[in-house]
């Protein structure tokens, strides 16, 4: 006998399966299209307004996502403000900022869609919008992350460090499922914008391993300039551009700088110490759109590290505190 209700039943089963799959751990582009349709536009508006106030904010938001994802995965744990023993207190997180921008976006979202959009997703969306505002490529961000409840300084001990060797940098990225190409893009390439504190320059300028003195890879004239800007005391409040040539533009100039001995921080210079990372770096010089497109792919890949979805974690009402 023909069952006239078979098609509606099949559709219902597919719909239920889709909802179940989403709840069990799948990030999706447009995850909030039904539950909070204006989520991405709200985040964009906040990022845009803060960019107008300070053109340095895109680099701050980009760095924030990197430092969040490299600890317990992209779960917004770096946003939790739980004192000196929290994630924010780790040496590698000194100078990380943008927290107030994420809170501003969260407050607006809570007024429209309370308890729906995670802080971890706001971080990922804000980084994307920040990059696109300074000549980077706009890319789709899969969303559906949930927020972690744990933030500990000890868990941030293995963050990539400016003074790591290239072997250690490669190892730290491999542990997160990221390739040498991702290392070049997300470490060196991301430094096309932003500032670094003199605090992170001291070993490279004055006590470089193994023989002391300065990193021999630094162009002599540039070394004098760096030392003039960053004297031996390493004042953490003094900051210099990571790419002095095109400081506020997302482009491949930072790779040109590294090749020619004008890398500002040691970890960027180390990309030229390894045959594979050197070849990858040089392939992006003058590549234009190829660099921008591959950087976008690397950001999406990084944004999936250790995500919490479905019934894991929570949706924080305030990003700096667990519920």
Dump pLDDT digits (tens) for 148-180. Answer: 999 999 999 889 999 999 999 999 999 999 999
Task: Identify whether 21 is part of a domain.
Answer: no
Is position 19 within any domain? no
Is 206 found in the same domain as 245? yes
Grade residue 242 by pLDDT with cuts at 50, 70 and 90.
very high
**Residue 226's domain spans which residues?**
166-302
In the structure, what pLDDT confidence band is assigned to residue 73 with cuts at 50, 70 and 90?
very high
Tell me how crowded residue 305 is: count the other CB atoms within 10 A of its CB: 17
Q: Which pLDDT value is given to residue 212?
A: 87
Percent of the chain whose predicted confidence (pLDDT) is above 90: 83
**b/e 161-189 (16+ beta carbons within 10 angstroms → b):** bbbbebeebbebbeebebebbbbbbbbbb
User: In terms of domains, do 187 and 240 share one?
Assistant: yes
Q: Check which CATH number belongs to the domain holding 97 and give it.
A: 1.10.520.10
Give catalytic residues, as residue numbers. Answer: 67
Does residue 2 lie in a domain region?
Answer: no
From the list 186, 169, 135, the residue with the least C-alpha distance to 303 is 186
Note whether residue 192 is domain-resident. Answer: yes
Residue 208 reports pLDDT greater than 60: yes
The CA dihedral of 82, 84, 87, 91, to the nearest 10 degrees, is 160
Mean pLDDT, range 185-213, rounded to an integer? 93
The reply to whether 144 and 194 lie within a common domain is no
Q: How many CB atoms lie within 10 A of CB 123?
A: 31
The total of structural domains in the chain comes to 2
Domain annotation covers residue 281: yes
Same domain, 197 and 238: yes
Q: Does one domain contain both 223 and 175?
A: yes
Residue 202 pLDDT > 50:
yes
> Residue 308 phi/psi, 5° resolution?
-105, 130
**pLDDT for the residue 25:** 58
Q: Looking at per-residue confidence, does 268 or 85 come out higher?
A: 268
148 and 230 together in one domain:
no
Per-residue pLDDT for 232 more than 50? yes
Residue listed under structure tokens 């960027």: 268
- Evaluate whether residue 241 is within a structural domain: yes
Q: Say if residue 13's pLDDT is above 70.
A: no
One domain, residues 197 and 72 = no
Taking the model in full, what pTM does it have?
0.90
Token couple for 222: 């540039």
314, part of any domain: no
Same domain, 133 and 199: no
Asked if pLDDT for residue 95 goes beyond 60, the answer is: yes
Site of tokens 């590290």? 305
Examine the domain organization and report whether 147 and 172 are in the same domain: no
Which of 131, 156, 181 is where one domain is finished? Answer: 156
**Residue 178 shares a structural domain with residue 298:** yes
| CATH at 266 | 1.10.420.10
Mean pLDDT, the chain, as a whole number?
A: 91
Same domain, 107 and 235: no
Same-domain check for residues 55 and 136: yes
Instruction: Average the pLDDT over 21-35 and give the result.
Output: 78
Q: Which stretches within the chain are classed as H helix? A: 6-23, 39-53, 57-72, 99-112, 119-133, 166-175, 180-183, 202-206, 220-229, 253-259, 266-270, 275-284, 289-302
Choose between 69 and 209: higher pLDDT. Answer: 69
What are the structure tokens assigned to 259, written together?
């090749």
pLDDT number for residue 50: 98
């Amino acid at each position: 006998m023909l069952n006239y209700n078979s098609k509606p039943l099949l559709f219902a089963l597919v719909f239920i399966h889709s909802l179940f799959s989403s709840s069990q751990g799948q990030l999706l582009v447009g995850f909030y299209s039904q539950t909070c349709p204006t989520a991405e536009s709200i985040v964009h508006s906040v990022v845009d307004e803060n960019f107008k106030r300070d053109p340095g904010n895109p680099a701050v938001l980009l760095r924030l996502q990197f430092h969040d994802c490299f600890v317990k995965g992209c779960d917004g744990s770096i946003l939790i403000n739980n004192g000196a023993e929290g994630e924010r207190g780790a040496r590698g997180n000194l100078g990380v900022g943008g927290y107030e921008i994420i809170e501003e976006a969260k407050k607006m979202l809570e007024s429209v869609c309370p308890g729906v959009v995670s802080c971890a997703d706001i971080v990922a969306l804000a980084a994307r919008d920040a990059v696109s505002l300074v000549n980077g490529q706009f890319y789709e961000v899969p969303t559906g992350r949930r927020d972690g409840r744990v933030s500990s300084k000890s868990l941030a001990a293995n963050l990539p460090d400016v003074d790591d060797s290239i072997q250690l940098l490669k190892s730290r990225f491999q542990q997160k499922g990221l390739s040498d190409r991702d290392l070049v893009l997300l470490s060196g390439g991301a430094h096309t914008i932003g500032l670094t504190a003199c605090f992170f320059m001291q070993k490279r300028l004055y006590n470089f391993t193994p023989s002391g003195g300065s990193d021999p890879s630094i162009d002599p004239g540039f070394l004098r300039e760096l030392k003039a800007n960053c004297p031996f005391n390493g004042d953490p409040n003094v900051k210099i551009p990571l790419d002095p040539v095109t400081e506020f533009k997302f482009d491949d100039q930072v790779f040109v700088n590294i090749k020619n001995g004008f890398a500002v921080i040691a970890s960027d210079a180390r990309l030229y110490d390894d045959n594979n990372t050197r070849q990858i770096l040089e392939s992006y010089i003058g590549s234009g759109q190829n660099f921008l497109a591959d950087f976008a792919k690397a950001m999406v890949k990084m944004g999936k590290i250790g995500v919490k979805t479905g019934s894991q974690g929570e949706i924080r009402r305030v990003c700096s505190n667990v519920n």
